[in-house]
Amino acid sequence: MHTISMLRRTLGLSSDNQVRNRIERIKDLLSEHIRRGPNNQIFLTNPGLELMKQFQELHDTGLTLAEASQVIRATLDIKAPLPYEVSSRYPLNSTKPDPTASDLASALQKEMTLIRTHITALHKQLPSSLDNEPLSDEVQPWWIYLREDVDVT
């Protein structure tokens, strides 16, 4: 187990707050590697130390802490094994359509039909004179009153 001050020396940082900032940036990735000791002291396991070293190496190459955390997350997602194997030639026999997906699709289709009927009813309520009548020259844009008189000469 490694303490904050040990991590500071290992990573070559100048203050404990720098270590805490780095831990905070990738806290979700370190959650299973962080332990709390007496007086709420933070301890980090060896795999967590390796993750912090990778994070610090990325930061030392010139990346910001945010960019380094994104790179760490991306590399961990690539390395994570898939929960199932997928054949590129044949679908899995155990694959069945998700019943909730078809229910959701039918509910969305019903909602779209309802919206279309409401829109049609609203169009029928509009006066027909508004549909074909062009706007008069007296109607000015709303922002015309906000303009100031500018003397360009």
In this prediction, residue 81 has a pLDDT band, given cuts at 50, 70 and 90, of low
> What is the rounded distance in angstroms from the CA atom of residue 29 to the CA atom of residue 7?
17
CATH code, 29: 1.10.1660
Closest of 76, 31, 81 to residue 58, by C-alpha: 76
103 assigned to some structural domain = no
Range scoring the smallest mean pLDDT among 18-22, 59-63, 92-96: 92-96
What letters, b where the CB count within 10 A reaches 16 and e where it falls short, cover 1-32? ebebeebbeebebeeeebbeebbebbeebbee
Residue 142 placed within a domain:
no
Assigned domain for 70 exists? yes
SS3 of residue 2 by DSSP: strand
Residue 93 inside a domain? The answer is no
Asked whether residue 113 is assigned to any structural domain, the reply reads no
State the total domains in the chain.
1
Q: Do residues 25 and 55 touch, judged by C-beta distance below 8 A?
A: yes
| pLDDT at site 116 | 93
Q: Three-class SS of residue 5?
A: helix
Owning domain of residue 38? 4-79
Q: How far is CA 65 from CA 8, 56, 60, 130, 146, in A?
A: 16, 9, 10, 57, 45
22 in a structural domain: yes
pLDDT at 53: 92
Q: For the whole model, what pTM was predicted?
A: 0.50
In a domain, 84, yes or no: no
Residue 37 structure tokens? 């000791």
> Do 80 and 72 meet the contact criterion of CB atoms below 8 Å apart?
no
Average pLDDT score over residue span 132-153: 64
Is 113 a residue whose pLDDT tops 80?
A: yes
Percent of the chain with pLDDT over 70: 69
Q: Is residue 118 part of a domain?
A: no
pLDDT score recorded for residue 140: 72
